[in-house]
Amino acid sequence: MTVTPDLDSLNARALPRWYDEAKFGIFIHWGLFSIPAFAARLGNITDAFKKDYDRAVAMTPYTEWYANAIKVAGTPSAEFHRANYGDAPYEAFKEPFLAGLKNWDAAAWAETFRDAGAKYVVLVTKHHDGFCLWPSAVENPKQKNWFSSRDIVGELARAVRAAGLKFGLYYSGGIDWSFNREPLRTMGDFIGSVPGGRYSAYADAQIRELIARYEPSVLWNDISWPADERHLFHLFADYYNAAPDGVVNDRWRTVTWKSKLLRFKFMRRRFDTRYKDYIAKNPKALEGIVPPPVPHSDFRTPEYAKLPAISAKKWESTRGMSHSFGFNRNDAEADYAPFETLLGDFLDGVSKNGNLLLNVGPEADGTIPTPQMARLKSFGAWLRANGEAVYGARPWTQAEAVTADGMPVRFTQKNGAIYLIVLGSPSGSEIRLRNGTLEGNGRVLADESPVNVHLEGEDTILNFVSPLKGEFAPVIAIESAKSVS
Ligand code: GLC
């Protein structure tokens, strides 16, 4: 069905099934910033805003914001840059980055992601630094040849598809530091920095070029979109008509007279005063980032955050394995979230209609850092044994429960079976579930051993024929389940 450039038509289009069924994608933040691979260490992204609001954007843990951070004198990044690269501008990282690609093997990445159990890959094609990972034919009027001569996007797209995964792309539509070179310090600066002038035509031409060349199945824009709704809806309709399996995320806030006011410094300061006040009064406001809803999107994108309950609207949480998306040279094993946390958050999301877009931040030469590789392998091992409860599954009527000894439980369902996932490492031959409402025939996914599921007063009891051995996140499928609630 042809989609027309109006909200009714855009919003009437059904979410392509593959995206809901896939559940697990890999995000890749890789670029010139992977060479310095450095950021301040105030904690996570929201800690930077809590602890040092007036220069938080330059004190971010995100290494991909390095080009901005070094513009703000006195920050750890500015000092690191001076000590290691002297007066060299950020642009000087281009040649070494391209030279360092000689051993990069897109096929090896794609196999790694497939073996981790991912079903799609979203590559950053242009981050806030404006540097393009494909040889764009759209001329950047502000910075000559600000792109990779090697077609990184094309090589990865082919390799990912050859491995049987869907390929999507990220594009920083709202921020481009080759167009707007002002140093950014505060939230007001950040969201008010959408470039004007020729940038809107540039971004439109680039995203259309990306769609035509690489036929992405996911269009993952960041921050905002530098045009009005009329242009945006045309873009969406053209994209959907070219890519029947395509999905778009929710970070497409358009330019309005209100957003243009933030181009004035005094308006940004006014915004900051109010925002600081809001943060102070709402401590929960900064537990991760949840972009506000927009008139049209296929899924929402909480960042280092999750939605707390089953959401009818599809969503996808995203995070780096440490506090940064881009590789950080100073991240040691202890700076990475444990596998159990990442997997537990993933399964919590799946039980509530969420996907996970887990980020990989490779080193400049394409090496995937050991702690990240280890986590990908653990995901792969778990999903090989238990993927039945995840791929193609839907939320059940209830997302959460808890065992008698306090272990969180999450549910999914598929083809009449209910999957009970214990977010802990239970051992032994019995699990007692508080507020249990289930009975039926069960089996442990990992070894297909039978489980007897019956009610005892207010509780559901699961009796294992083959005792659980303390592995993390075992899954019990309950077929012909009678939900007695
Ligand atoms: C953000 C950031 C960024 C990262 C991203 C991923 O808004 O600015 O560095 O690419 O979103 O969700």
Domain boundaries, the chain: 7-389, 394-483
Atom of ligand 1 nearest to the CA of 303: 12
Indicate which atom in ligand 1 lies nearest the CA of residue 62.
Answer: 9
Confidence of residue 76 (pLDDT cuts 50, 70, 90): very high
Q: In terms of CATH architecture, what is 7-389?
A: Alpha-Beta Barrel (3.20)
Cα torsion 309, 310, 313, 318 to 10°: value is 60
pLDDT in tens, 78-122: 999 999 999 999 999 999 999 999 999 999 999 999 999 999 999
Burial class (CB in 10 A: 0-12, 13-18, 19+), 151: middle
From ligand 1's centre to the CA of 126, what distance in Å? 11
pLDDT at position 484, please?
54
Verify whether ligand 1 is closer than 6 Å to residue 62 (CB atom). yes
**Ligand 1 close to Cβ of residue 325 (< 6 A):** yes
Q: Which residue has the tokens 């950053």?
A: 124
pLDDT tens-digit readout, 421-451: 999 999 999 999 987 778 888 999 999 999 9
Pick from 317, 369, 307, 325: nearest CA to 343: 317
| Shortest-distance atom of ligand 1 to CA 251 | 7
User: Probe ligand 1: pick from 222, 317, 328, 359, max atoms within 8 Å of CB?
Assistant: 222
Residue 397: what pLDDT? 94
Query: What is the tens place of the pLDDT at every residue in 173-184?
Result: 999 999 999 999
Closest among 189, 258, 185, 269 to 223, alpha carbons compared: 189
Q: Is the pLDDT of residue 146 over 70?
A: yes
Question: Which secondary structure element, helix H or strand E, spans residue 315, and what is its range?
Answer: strand 315-319
The Å distance, Cα 195 to ligand 1 centre, comes to 17
- Asked whether 129 lines ligand 1 (CB < 6 A), one says no
Q: How far is the CA of 342 from the centre of ligand 1 (A)?
A: 18
Decide: 220 in ligand 1 pocket, CB within 6 A: no
Per-residue pLDDT averaged across 141-150, rounded? 97
Instruction: Please report, for residues 27, 51, 53, 58, the alpha-carbon distance to residue 286 in angstroms, rounded to integers and kept in the order given.
Output: 23, 11, 12, 17
In short, whether 222's Cβ falls inside 6 Å of ligand 1 is: yes
Angle between helices 106-115 and 370-386 (to 10 degrees): 50
DSSP per position, 217-238: SEEEEES--SS-HHHHHHHHHH
Atom of ligand 1 nearest to the CA of 60: 9
Q: What average pLDDT does the chain have? A: 95
Cβ atoms 329, 38 nearer than 8 A: yes
pLDDT at res. 439: 83
Q: Which atom of ligand 1 is nearest to the CA of 289?
A: 7
Ligand 1 atom, smallest distance to 326 CA: 9
Residue 216 Cα to ligand 1 middle (Å): 19
Q: Decide: 303 in ligand 1 pocket, CB within 6 A.
A: yes
Ligand 1 binding pocket includes 298 (Cβ within 6 Å): no
Distance 483 CA to ligand 1 centre (A): 41
Predicted pLDDT of residue 481: 59
The pLDDT value recorded for residue 282 is: 82
Token pair of 191, please?
């969201």
The whole-number average pLDDT for the span 16-21 is 98
% of the chain at pLDDT higher than 90: 89
pLDDT-wise least confident of 27-36, 234-243, 251-260, 375-384: 251-260
Mean pLDDT of 8-16: 98
The protein residue with its alpha carbon nearest to ligand 1, atom 12, reads 303
Pocket test for ligand 1, best of 303, 355, 358 (most atoms within 8 A of CB): 303
- 133 CA from centroid of ligand 1 (Å): 17
- What is residue 483's predicted lDDT score, i.e. its pLDDT? 62
Mean pLDDT of 320-330: 98
Query: Which tokens is 22 given?
Result: 């896939």
DSSP state, residue 65:
G
The number of the ligand 1 atom at minimal distance from the alpha carbon of 172 is 10
Phi, psi of 114 (to 5 degrees): -60, -45
- The answer to which of 65-69, 187-191, 228-232, 435-439 has the lowest mean pLDDT is 435-439
Better pLDDT: 48 or 385 = 385
Question: How confident is residue 482, by pLDDT bands cut at 50, 70 and 90?
Answer: low
Q: Is the pLDDT of residue 55 over 80?
A: yes
CA of 320 to the centre of ligand 1 (A): 10
Q: How far is the CA of 303 from the centre of ligand 1 (A)?
A: 8
pLDDT in tens, 274-289: 998 888 888 777 777 8
Cα 90 from Cα 308, distance rounded (Å): 40
Q: Which of 62, 131, 193 to mutate to test the pocket of ligand 1 (most atoms within 8 A of CB)?
A: 62
Q: Of all atoms in ligand 1, which is nearest to the CA of residue 175?
A: 8
Kindly report the pTM of this predicted structure: 0.96
CA dihedral 428, 433, 439, 443 (to 10 degrees): -40
Average pLDDT over residues 58-86: 98
Q: Does any ligand 1 atom lie closer than 6 A to the CB of residue 316? A: no
Is the CB of 64 inside a 6 Å radius of any atom of ligand 1?
yes
What is the 318 CA–ligand 1 centroid distance (Å)?
Answer: 9
CATH class of 394-483: mainly beta
335-358: average pLDDT: 98
Check residues 248 and 48 and name the one with the higher pLDDT.
248
Helix axis angle for 199-214 and 152-162, nearest 10°, is 40
Given the CA of residue 64, which atom of ligand 1 is nearest to it? 9
